[in-house]
């Protein structure tokens, strides 16, 4: 008796790897296949948007918009996941343009639907924890470009964010470490960016600083880290009062500088404006 080697079912629509554009009737089956089989580097699903698209499709209001579904050269779905989920939920086929074979690097130029941020661009390139990483990269960009500590109108593009991450690979490590440092009173992006900046001065000391800020354990009453933790916690506890990102960073830098010097402090202050306005602190 002869035996046959099982064959893998042929996809309903294979994803081309070369650059091409096609007009395709995307059925719910094809939509599901694309979502399941492609490496999805898209954004998180916003269910209200899926339902809005689905309702438009069911009402016959979904026309041929010219906004293509987009796949990369390696088959990753770069743009169109909400439309594909809507097709599945509507259970009807929709005719749409589909672009294949786009380089992932080109994804950061896409500007369809909801504006894409630096986190989306980093996600397309395979990075993890991209919201926090992009926020840390933004701080590092400001620091490296001499505008950190100032209210500025310089536009930080997605290309800038990606470039900062690629040129400063240890920022990814800072971002990963920040995930374990909870209850600091700072955002994950702030911890990531400042840890990297402080780490350029002393890597081990920077990690010790943020680890102690997270736990608050074994800190002397005049420890600059304890003063920082207390100051940030007090501000957070005040209803309707929020410290700005610049002031939080200034407090953190002042505490870091005192920690580096081995200098105890009685109180932590920063005056950003007025007649007693201080010069913005620089990490030492």
3-state secondary structure 161-217: HHHHHHHCCHHHHHHHHHCCCCCCCCCHHHHHHHHHHHHCCCHHHHHHHHHHHHHCC
228-273 tens-digit pLDDT: 999 999 888 876 567 888 999 999 999 999 999 999 999 899 988 8
CA proximity to 24, closest of 110, 100, 89 = 100
What single DSSP character describes residue 126? T
Domains and CATH numbers, the chain: 20-105 (3.90.1530), 120-261 (no CATH)
* Buried b or exposed e, range 69-84, using 16+ CB within 10 angstroms: bbbbbebbbbbbbbbb
97-142 tens-digit pLDDT: 898 888 766 666 554 445 567 888 887 777 889 999 999 999 999 9
More confident residue, 232 or 74: 232
Residue 21 phi/psi, 5-degree rounding, is: -125, 135
Contact 202, 215 (CB under 8 A): no
Reported pTM: 0.67
> Among positive and negative, which fits the CA dihedral 204, 209, 214, 217?
positive
Under the banding of pLDDT at 50, 70 and 90, the label for residue 191 is: very high
């Amino acid at each position: 008796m002869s035996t046959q080697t099982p064959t893998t079912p042929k996809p309903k629509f294979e994803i081309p790897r070369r650059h091409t554009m096609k007009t395709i009737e995307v059925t719910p089956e094809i939509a599901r296949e694309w979502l399941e089989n492609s490496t999805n580097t898209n954004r998180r699903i916003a269910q209200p948007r899926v339902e809005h698209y689905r309702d438009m499709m069911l009402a016959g209001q979904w026309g041929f918009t010219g906004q293509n579904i987009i796949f990369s050269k390696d088959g990753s779905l770069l743009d169109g996941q909400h439309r594909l989920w809507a097709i599945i939920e509507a259970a009807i086929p929709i005719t749409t343009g589909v672009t294949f074979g786009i380089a992932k690097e080109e994804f950061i130029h896409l500007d369809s639907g909801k504006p894409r941020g630096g986190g989306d661009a980093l996600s397309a390139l395979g990075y993890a924890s991209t919201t926090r990483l992009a926020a840390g990269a933004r701080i590092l960009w400001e620091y490296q470009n001499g505008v950190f500590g100032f209210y500025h109108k310089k536009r930080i593009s997605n290309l800038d964010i990606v470039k900062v991450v690629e040129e400063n690979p240890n920022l990814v490590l800072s971002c990963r470490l920040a995930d374990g440092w909870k209850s600091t009173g700072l955002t994950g992006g702030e911890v990531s960016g400042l840890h990297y900046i402080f780490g350029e001065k002393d890597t081990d000391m920077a990690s010790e600083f943020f680890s102690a800020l997270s736990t608050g354990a074994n800190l002397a009453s005049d420890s600059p880290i304890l003063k920082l933790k207390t100051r940030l916690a007090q501000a957070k506890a005040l209803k309707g009062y929020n410290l700005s990102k610049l002031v939080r960073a200034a407090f953190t830098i002042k505490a870091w500088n005192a920690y580096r010097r081995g200098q105890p402090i009685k109180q932590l202050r920063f005056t950003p404006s007025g007649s007693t306005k201080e010069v913005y602190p620089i990490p030492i």
